[in-house]
Homo-oligomer: A and B are copies of this chain.
Amino acid sequence: MATHDSEFDLIARIRARAATRGDVLLGIGDDAAILRVPTGRDLVVAMDTLNVGVHFPEDTAPADIGWKALAVNLSDLAAMGAEPAWCVLSLSVPCADAAWIDGFLDGFFELAARDGVALVGGDTTRGPLSVCVTAHGLVAPRGGLRRNAARVGDDIWITGTLGDAAAALRQWQTGIAIDAALRARLDRPTPRVAAGRALAGIAHACIDVSDGLLADLGHACRASRVGARVAIDALPASSALRAAFDSNDLRALQTAGGDDYELCFTAPVTARLAIEEAMALCDTPVARIGAITSDSGRVMACDASGAEWTPPRRGYQHFAN
């Protein structure tokens, strides 16, 4: 039987497990946190919300929800080349079930510890299950990666593999058995924090892939007033994805699936060796998948013959009719 906590017990439960850092002058327990930003560093702020049934399936384990709520925010910091520092958490739950909360915190704090992030505040409210996180990171002045910095002739790169999370979601939606490796990618995306930091100073533009590769690359191209040509056969795929889907489904999942939380970045051709060395140093697989063109705003995926391939849909939009 579930144990129900009051709001204050819930905050005490969270506070008891929150790690701290030397630059946290005042953490959980007051009206706000007080933090010290080191001299000569700029502050990077990202905020993302996960709602049940929209951003994760209803049957997602509480620990995976906790992990993912922080992961999607750290992925945004990674795409800026920032070093994660602090976060705040707003947790809306229908009722305060102690076992559920403990599971949620297991996943949340596991990732927070991995990336040295201190939880310094937030709030808990009653409502439909929803998790909002604001993550704070640090970058050197003018050191942040931006999506609007792609240049014509740049290589386009991607970390990791594409399509796994969307594949798990499709299996879940169609009611077939979900491959465990794919499900792990849906439930526990790994923010590319070390890769993002290593790319600051090497890459031109960078964005994390959450809406789908072509959609997110499109955002970067429009912001940079350039185009992109992607070699569809160069897109990295996991063996689990290749085993479970035919080549047309595979392409659709890789280009438009979303929820990958890999970094898509552009860099000059002269940086190829530096990128491969930097990614090897942080154990991050990386693939070169295309080039930036002058065809402003146009993102093309092409097969080996050079023919354009159009995915069935581009990206996932909330509110799409």
Contacts and interface: CB of A to CB of B under 8 A. Distances in A.
A197 interface: no
Contacts of A35: 42-45
Given A82-B32, A88-B134, A125 B51 contact: yes
Interface in A17-72: 25-26, 29-37, 39, 42-49, 51, 54-55
B90 A126 contact: no
B42 A39 contact: no
A53 to B, nearest CB: 8
Given A318-B125, A319-B10, A80 B32 contact: yes
- Per assembly, the copies of the chain total 2
- Classify chain A's interface size: 35 or more
Interface in A174-225: 207-208, 223
A233 interface: no
A4 B126 CA distance: 28
A261 to B, nearest CB: 11
Interface in A115-165: 120-128, 130, 132, 134-137, 139, 141, 144, 146-148
Contact of A29 (B75, B86, B144, B223): B223
A240 B42 CA distance: 48
A308 interface: no
A36 B75 CA distance: 21
Contacts of A25: 42, 144
A300 interface: no
A8 B320 CA distance: 10
Interface of A: 4-8, 10, 25-26, 29-37, 39, 42-49, 51, 54-55, 75-77, 79-80, 82, 86, 88-90, 92, 95-96, 120-128, 130, 132, 134-137, 139, 141, 144, 146-148, 207-208, 223, 317-321
17 contacts: A7-B320, A26-B144, A30-B147, A32-B46, A34-B42, A35-B42, A35-B45, A45-B88, A47-B123, A47-B134, A48-B90, A48-B123, A49-B92, A51-B92, A54-B126, A54-B127, A92-B130
Closest 7 CB pairs of A and B: A51-B127, A32-B46, A134-B134, A31-B79, A132-B132, A31-B76, A47-B88
